Amino acid sequence: MTAHPELRPARRTSRGTARRVAVLAAAPALTVLLAAGPAHADVPLGWDPAQESVDPLHVLWLLVGIPLGLILLIAAAVYLPAIARGKDVRPGSAHAVEAEWFGGPRRAPEELAAPDNEESQAGGASGRW
């Protein structure tokens, strides 16, 4: 008895795999090329086609100075209050924290009450069929 053709697993050939890889590799490149089309447009009417030179220090300030300043400002906002309170902020200096069960019973989970009869509401979700 032969299995139904729709139930048989599809066989993958090396040619089909190569085609899939080629399509997956070409799709991002084609997308980039199509998206870059407007970059080759002419200068709009009324605009000065001459390009002004950009000061390298200005670029360095925008791309390095401002982000670095923001990083330092955020780090200071995080660490300075803890340092002012006298806490140790070095990595690995945190104290071990015990596991907590919020809203749970005041005793250990092993000590929870088990249902003692059919009408008891203790010990579970009380699902009925």
Whether residue 65 lies inside any domain: the answer is yes
Q: How many domains does the chain have?
A: 1
Q: Which of 107, 108, 129, 126 is nearest to 117 (CA)?
A: 126
Whether residue 99 lies inside any domain: the answer is no
DSSP string, 79-128: HHHHHHTT---STT-PPP-----TTS-SS-GGGPPPP-STT--TTS----
Give me the domain span that covers residue 59: 55-87
Sort residue 4 into left (φ over 0), alpha (ψ -120 to 50) or beta: beta
Whether residue 79 lies inside any domain: the answer is yes
Average pLDDT of the chain to the nearest whole number: 77
Whether residue 95 lies inside any domain: the answer is no
**Amino acid identity, position 81:** P
Q: What's the CA gap between 26 and 18, in Å, rounded? A: 12
Straight-line distance from the first to the last Cα atom of the chain, in angstroms, rounded to the nearest whole number: 43
Share of the chain above pLDDT 70, in %: 68
Whether residue 59 lies inside any domain: the answer is yes
Q: Which of 112, 109, 129 is nearest to 121 (CA)?
A: 112
Whether residue 77 lies inside any domain: the answer is yes
pLDDT in tens, 55-113: 889 999 999 999 999 999 999 999 999 899 988 888 877 777 777 777 766 666 566 66
Tell me what the mean pLDDT of segment 9-34 comes to: 78
Whether residue 111 lies inside any domain: the answer is no
